[in-house]
Homo-oligomer: A and B are copies of this chain.
């Protein structure tokens, strides 16, 4: 439950360091006095904390603000460029990479296509190349990447190994985190793509103010990620949210039925234009989706249901029937919204995961 270890004075310093650093990261650049006011600490304490942080290289002193009244205050800024993290999506037909600094600002994107039946080695090599290209292209030395996180479809266990992948050839059993760790010689993490999507939405998307979130990545084969109390819930084997496994749910073939004629985008467009047959197809797909979604919703009773992934671009054409079926299946369905991100959501979630790791393990606490 709570903490078990007793505390001494250094605990207080630890807490206050955290609080100060958190405030500084929000502020960007701030004076001692201002930091004192927003943290509730005395200026003296803030000063001591910042001295320590400067020593450790986390922050830097910025030039004083000119033109202000009174004696110029010393200003400090979080050294967002002290290190970088890479967020990576290794998808069925594409690789998406984002490079972010420690403040979470994404400073470079890179993407490339990959054949959906490419063997594992080829897919990995494409991912590696794209990631390196992204970092090199941004002019960031490879050694300055502190952590990499990768999202991929399939079940990824807590150690970052793909324990089961249905869609990607040769993917099952792959130690994705282990392999990716060698690319930059840094710690690497791996997780399921839907989980990372959920994380991204909670970080900067439509789920920012929700605590418990179910995120469904709709596309060829829907997947789901769950946030409990704002934190990723992975489960014992990392398989939390894998409701699609249940035959009763019918997620396996939901998409193939949808795209029997034409691409998904075409079907959605036709449905949006009022085409009866397309509407029926979409409705049927939404119903299938709703069955799985309702199982997750009933299990978790989330504050919010977020729909992400390629098909989410269809917007209300898909969401309206989904909401209808969901209301039918659940006692009280939560609010349903679409992702605010396009296809960056997984790599953005990966960035967040990497940053979480940095903040926890490198920054301490």
Contacts and interface: CB of A to CB of B under 8 A. Distances in A.
B240 A300 contact: yes
A291 B248 contact: yes
Most buried by B among A40, A233, A298, A301: A298
Contacts of A164: 331
B4 A298 contact: no
Interface string A1-30: 111111111011001101100100000000
B7 A295 contact: no
B242 A301 contact: yes
Nearest to A14: B7
Copies of this chain held together in the complex: 2
Contacts of A7: 11-12, 15-16, 19
A271 interface: no
Nearest to A8: B12
Contacts of A229: 228
Nearest to A18: B2
Contacts of A45: 6
A247 B328 CA distance: 10
Contact of A238 (B245, B294, B301): B301
Interface in A57-111: none
Contacts of A12: 7-9, 11-12
Nearest to A248: B248
Nearest to A365: B2
Contacts of A8: 12
A204 to B, nearest CB: 15
A234 B332 CA distance: 14
Given A234-B301, A246-B294, A301-B237, A9 B9 contact: yes
Interface string A228-270: 1111011111111111011111000000000000000000000
Contacts of A11: 7, 11-12, 15
A242 to B, nearest CB: 5
A362 interface: no
A33 interface: no
A45 B330 CA distance: 54
A235 to B, nearest CB: 2
Contacts of A329: 245-247
Contact of A1 (B16, B230, B234, B291): B230
Contacts of A1: 230-231
B298 A245 contact: yes
B6 A15 contact: yes
A39 interface: yes
Contacts of A201: none
A16 to B, nearest CB: 5
A283 interface: no
A139 to B, nearest CB: 32
17 contacts: A1-B230, A3-B18, A6-B19, A7-B11, A7-B16, A8-B12, A212-B233, A235-B300, A236-B334, A237-B332, A239-B298, A241-B298, A242-B331, A245-B298, A249-B295, A295-B298, A299-B300
Interface of A: 1-9, 11-12, 15-16, 18-19, 22, 39-41, 45, 155, 164, 212, 226, 228-231, 233-243, 245-249, 291, 294-296, 298-303, 329-332, 334, 365
Nearest 9 CB-CB pairings of A with B: A235-B301, A299-B299, A240-B301, A7-B15, A295-B295, A239-B301, A7-B12, A6-B19, A243-B298
